[in-house]
Structure 1
């Protein structure tokens, strides 16, 4: 439990806040994130949250929170919470619907994809200000020459592929994205077929994560989305949601 040094007799003490007054990021009217941290509500302890709204196939980009674990609760709609287990080297996919949660341990690489319109998620963190390192920042700030040399890639192709990423993406794909087509469907489309059940999209095939079983149903690993310029919100150090 966090130790509080708040003077609860102070006229500045806060017990309530309207999250709509602190929009952290907005892609459009259907895809945006509101935030709450100790900077908005000074009586908070080691807790903060993001209020996330997504339409079909929109993605909270792959990222990590190096200082907090994250509990994702589905209020409405449905989404798939995906994370990489760094110990087993597995990509795990957890579809959640209203009333269901998925937990992301501290520092784990993860992302969320909405599978229907009007999806509403609440992400709860065990830190007063969760720090964020986005995949878009790692890709655009690592020199193409280093990526090419390390992974034996064509440097010119790496530069060409990553050149459109000029800022932190947060919610992708961008509105002006020309998505690569895969057999008549985009890779981001929630109707992208499950290889084990080609006649059923993954969004309807599985409903509840199999937490008690050793084998968790695996969904197709999505190809990288081409990224396009976004405003630069901060580079270098991980930054908090709460400003």
Structure 2
């Protein structure tokens, strides 16, 4: 537990909280995230969590938490947790089902995709305020000319490809995307996945964990200012 300066005799001390009171992001009624941090439960130590609900093919977009490790626990459904090992330069895919976990070390690039409907994941962090840098922000805020120059690409094609990304995605594809979800994409070939068993932008973000800022993942990509 982190060092606590909480006055446990204070009338404002909190020991319980209902996560439904703190929606972090909502894409629709089947794809949303509730959050718990020290802002919601002031007796927390060095821990926080996200309660994630996803339907088939929906993805918590690629991102990093530069100040926290993440333990992903599958409560229901099934998910593919993918991460890049920065030391081996390998993309690792882990299929998890209820009762199984996947661990993402601090600062590693990763994402989670539901492979069946009614998937619920609990993401637990070893920080009271996990920082969050999403791919959608890096792609939309970096000038196309920089990508084109750095990687010897056609600037017009880069700009055209990235133009639809106009805001932070969080859960993709955005609700403004009208093409059908690629169901086959969620079925990673067995040789690519390690499995324990065979198995608009219309989102709203808010209540202390809102992103973008001021009182959420924004403002330096932290949960507080």
Q: Which residue of 1 aligns with 2:101?
A: 101
CA contact (8 A) 1:164 1:228 kept: no
Paired with 1:78 and 1:170, the residues of 2 have a C-alpha distance of 19
Cα shift at 1:191: 5.7
Q: How does 1:72-151 map to 2 (within 5 A)?
A: 72-151=72-151
Deviations 1:130-187 (A, max 9, x none): 11000000101111000000001100011111111111100000123144x8xxxx54
Runs (4+) of structure 1 exceeding 2 A deviation are 186-196, 227-237
Contact 1:56 1:190 in 2 (8 A): no
| Kept after mapping to 2: 8 A contact 1:166/1:230 | no
Cα displacement (A) at 1:238: 1.4
Aligned residues: 213
Report if aligned partners of 1:78, 1:114 keep a CA contact under 8 Å in 2. Answer: yes
Residue equivalent to 1:29: 29
Structure 2 residue aligned with 1:167: 167
Q: Distance between the aligned counterparts of 2:42 and 2:90, measured in 1?
A: 39
- 2:98 and 2:185 map into 1 onto residues whose CA distance is 17
Q: Over the residues paired in the alignment, what is the CA RMSD in angstroms?
A: 2.5
Unaligned stretches of 5+ in structure 1? 197-201, 210-226
Check 1:229–1:145 CA distance in 2 against 1; reply closer, same or farther (3 A cut). farther
Task: Work out which of the residue numbers 209, 212, 216 in structure 2 matches 1:233.
Answer: 212
Q: TM-score, structure 2 length as denominator? A: 0.87
**Deviation for aligned residue 1:89:** 0.3
TM-score, scaled relative to structure 1: 0.80
